[in-house]
A and B are shown apart, each in its own frame.
Chain A
């Protein structure tokens, strides 16, 4: 059900989400620096980076690349908008997929071998996390009987208690989506430079900034999905989200980067296994 207040709330979310996402990634970088015994950049560093990138010279390789990056940004904006509108989880999933596919198409539209390899790896990553994400949404459905976010949010008790294993499986999926180690294999996110910058190699200046902003929207969306696991009180939700994100940062710093073969060979069996066991637990109750 869409009301005026709902609509305004979603619009506010669209405006505030990138700022929140930037702040979260700033805190992320500061914490990572602390783990590594460094001082680290200021918390507002992501803002500086993006403003700088937006003000740089435009070097567009071809027009297809520009279209792809625009679609990627718009789809993640739309996904956040729909999420805060309290819309359907499946609809959000499909909107998000359009963005993911467009991002891959953008990386494939240039002849650079690094970008091509990055695109192939990104494809593998999408292939790995999409089933887990979809099955998680089915998990919400099995318990609450609805894919509708505004309905799921009205559920009396935290959903984490009835789907703890799905939470862990979703953690795998979203580590991939957040481009955290061990799964930052497509864009070499944290400066490992194995394939230069992978799927981001051929983006420069404003385009790179748009990819970055789209990523912030995704961070907010991901945290939103996690928030569904504990939506009974705001304080508890914030604590739960902080713990989840801290765990992501910790894993990012603790583990080395994997290969795509390792990712598929481990994330699928473990993730799907956990989800199926949880389904059995839910249906058996």
Chain B
């Protein structure tokens, strides 16, 4: 019986890791990270080969990709989108601004990183990061679905 349930859990973990649908939120700044993120979806990098679809709807998504500086205004948008996603979910913070506030860190309106508002699982460094490293970050985040299963 436990063998069957293990097998079942294994299938679920594999499915979760093999089909992470993404939603992307740009919190502001220069849009460099956005352009690199969208580049991942083009035929050149083709995120869909890993099963990643740009769902564009937080209710369908498993990964939240955050770019840009989080400020006092858009923190509510970020929180709202995160809350609308159903579990299990992971958050990938892309670029210096989303990781720590970047060069805008000391601005009066900047909170300094997406992790001040929501729990972030993976940080992708760079200003902007290359599409390769964004894909790497997303796939690293996906591995967390498997880990969560084992911990349970």
Residues of A near any B CB (own CB < 8 A): 29, 33, 36-42, 45, 47-49, 51-52, 55-59, 191, 193, 196-197, 200-205, 208
Contact = CB atoms under 8 A, between A and B. Distances in A.
Contact of B16 (A38, A52, A202): A52
B88 A56 contact: yes
A35 B12 CA distance: 31
B10 to A, nearest CB: 11
A58 B43 CA distance: 33
A203 B55 CA distance: 12
Interface of B: 11-12, 14-16, 18-19, 21, 43, 46, 48-51, 53-57, 59-60, 62, 86-88
A195 B16 CA distance: 26
A52 B15 contact: yes
A172 to B, nearest CB: 27
A39 B15 contact: no
A201 B12 contact: no
A109 B9 CA distance: 34
A193 B60 CA distance: 12
A191 B53 contact: yes
Contacts of B14: 48
A213 B125 CA distance: 39
B109 to A, nearest CB: 29
A254 B14 CA distance: 34
Given A38-B48, A204-B86, A59 B15 contact: no
A33 B19 contact: no
A40 B45 CA distance: 10
Contacts of B43: 36-38
B16 A55 contact: yes
B16 A49 contact: no
B48 A193 contact: no
Contacts of B21: 49
A49 B19 contact: yes
A51 B15 contact: yes
A197 to B, nearest CB: 5
Nearest to B41: A191
Given A37-B43, A39-B49, A52 B54 contact: no
A59 B86 contact: yes
A56 B62 CA distance: 9
A193 B57 CA distance: 8
Contacts of A204: 59-60, 86
Contacts of B87: 56-57
A41 B49 contact: yes
Contact of A52 (B19, B50, B59): B19
